[in-house]
Amino acid sequence: MSKLPEEFADLERFSDWCLPTEEERYAKRLSSSMEQMQELYDAGMKRLEDIMVYVDARFPLSSMPADAKALVHLGQSIVMVSFPIEVWKQPRVLDSGAAYIQLIEEPVV
């Protein structure tokens, strides 16, 4: 069964990145290899604008169907891997040690 809207079937292989909280997305990033993140980044950055247009044009944040919500979460994951891929060349923030940020409220759950 597909998690994403039909228009985004090409991204379905990344549906394990459709995680509803920042904490889950961060944990996924830390447990993923650079190769896995690179694959998500390469496929996802090509479609990121399409994701934003699709969701923004069709649904209010308060009443999105499950597949559109999953797509938003995938988009958030794509953005989350951008710094490790583009800047740090590793999953963790450079020189961050054991520090972390805890998000108190999610924008879309």
Q: What is the DSSP string of 14-79?
A: GGGG--SSHHHHHHHHHHS-HHHHHHHHHHHHHHHHHHHHHHHHH--GGG--HHHHHHHHHHHHHH
Domain assignment of residue 60, yes or no: yes
* Parent domain of 55: 17-88
> Which tops the pLDDT comparison, 109 or 7?
7
Domain assignment of residue 73, yes or no: yes
Domain assignment of residue 98, yes or no: no
- For residue 104, the model assigns a pLDDT of 67
> Which tops the pLDDT comparison, 64 or 105?
64
Distances (CA, A) of 99 to 52, 71, 73, 89: 31, 29, 24, 19
Q: Please tell me the total count of domains within the chain.
A: 1
Record the pTM: 0.86
**What is the band of 61 on the pLDDT scale with cuts at 50, 70, 90?**
confident
Domain assignment of residue 55, yes or no: yes
Domain assignment of residue 27, yes or no: yes
